[in-house]
Amino acid sequence: MKRLLIATVIALAAVACSKETQTTTPAASKEKTYPMTATIVSRDPAKNTVNLDNKEVPGEMGAMKMDYELRGAKAADLPADGTPVVVTVHDVNGSYYITDVKPQK
């Protein structure tokens, strides 16, 4: 039962994020990047993912808390949990990863 609940939560998060991309052409693998302001909630050094509580990026991403795959850096080397940061979001046909995590000025 717990497993089902987790799967449902993940499915809901995916729906929330893909909402804006459904109208785009699914054929070509297009990568879109944009800056996003967020606070680091937690991290998983084993999977190299970071959980961010992000502000809305109009037209791209609603304000939400979600896990992002981190590329080009180690999750363990990022600023401490609770630090406000600016990251670059890479949206590849609705699947996301982040780079350039910098403390907010």
Residues forming contacts to Cu ion in the complex (CB under 5 A) are 17, 61, 64, 66
Q: Give 17 or 78: the residue with its C-beta nearer to Cu ion.
A: 17
- The alpha helices in 1-105, defined as continuous H runs, are 2-18
Which residue's CB is nearer to Cu ion, number 64 or number 86? 64
Smallest separation (angstroms) from Cu ion to the CB of 67:
9
| Residues sharing a CB contact under 8 Å with residue 73, sequence separation 6 or more, in sequence order | 99, 101
- Smallest distance, Cu ion to C-beta of residue 68, A: 8
**Which value, in Å, is the radius of gyration of the alpha carbons in the chain?**
14
